């Protein structure tokens, strides 16, 4: 119980960091500036303004300095990261290496989800970080267990997933999804392997299709308008792992 409580608090901190990382990377702000700022008035925020969840609730989702609303994405990002950390911890609490690896994967997936959902971008450096992390973990695990076939299976799943997305993009002439989705598909194939990749892709296309139909029916989107597919690709792995 103590360990899960720690993971909950740690998840809040990481979720807050992910929010800042996503905003700064998209808006190309100087990462050397240690002080967070209000996106609206650019005023530097005090430590009391940065307490995960609590500051958002106490300030009633408004900036202390300009009184303009703060996006709920910050609150959702912190809470979802925290809850996922607890969920992962409940599975891997007795396996520290798998726990750390899974927490890194979850953090990167959440960052990708929010960057694509709000900005329509899947940053290469986030995907590359995931590929490198998964690659190192899988190679180390395969060598330790002497299970090279399992490693090859994951690599083949990654290649097959990338080819699938590449062909999908090619025949749809880039209207359905972009290169970022193919790169993300490669990483998902690498760390999920088979049949996890198939299950994740099925969930992604199913949820993406249902949400797309709902958006058209509610006239939120017109037929032919693009909807970021990255978030749906991220949902699949969350349910699989």
| Domain coverage including residue 195 | 124-241
**Eight-class DSSP state of 86:** H
Task: Choose among 151, 117, 75: nearest CA to 233.
Answer: 117
- Which residue among 94, 112, 134 closes a domain? 94
- Does the residue 164 lie in any domain? yes
Name the pTM for this structure.
0.87
Name the residue with higher pLDDT: 77 or 30: 77
Q: Are residues 237 and 186 in the same domain?
A: yes
3-state secondary structure of 59: coil
Name the residue with higher pLDDT: 96 or 220: 96
d(CA 20, CA 30): 11
Residues 6+ apart with CB under 8 A from 75: 53, 56, 57, 61
pLDDT for the residue 225:
58
Q: Are residues 52 and 158 in the same domain?
A: no
Q: Are residues 136 and 88 in the same domain?
A: no
Q: In the chain, how many domains are there?
A: 2
- Does the residue 113 lie in any domain? no
């Amino acid at each position: 119980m103590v360990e899960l409580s720690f993971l909950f608090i740690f998840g809040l901190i990481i979720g807050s960091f992910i929010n800042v990382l996503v905003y700064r990377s998209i808006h190309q702000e100087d990462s050397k500036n240690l002080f967070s700022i209000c996106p609206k008035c650019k005023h530097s925020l005090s430590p009391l303004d940065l307490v995960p969840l609590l500051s958002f609730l106490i300030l009633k989702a408004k900036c202390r300095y300009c009184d303009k609303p703060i996006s709920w994405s910050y609150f959702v990002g912190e809470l979802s990261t925290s809850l996922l950390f607890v969920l992962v911890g409940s599975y891997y609490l007795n396996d520290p290496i798998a726990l750390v690896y899974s927490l890194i994967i979850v953090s990167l997936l959440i960052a990708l989800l929010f960057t694509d959902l709000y900005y329509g971008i899947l940053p290469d450096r986030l995907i590359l970080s995931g590929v490198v992390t998964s690659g190192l973990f899988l190679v180390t695990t395969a060598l330790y267990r002497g299970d090279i076939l399992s490693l090859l299976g994951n690599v083949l799943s990654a290649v097959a997933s990338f080819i699938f997305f590449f062909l999908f993009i090619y025949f749809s002439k880039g209207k359905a999804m972009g290169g970022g989705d193919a790169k993300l598909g490669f990483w998902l194939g690498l760390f999920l392997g088979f049949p996890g990749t198939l299950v994740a892709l099925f969930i992604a296309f199913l949820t993406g299709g249902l949400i797309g139909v709902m958006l058209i029916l509610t006239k939120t989107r017109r037929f032919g308008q693009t909807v970021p597919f990255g978030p749906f690709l991220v949902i699949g792995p969350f349910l699989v792992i």
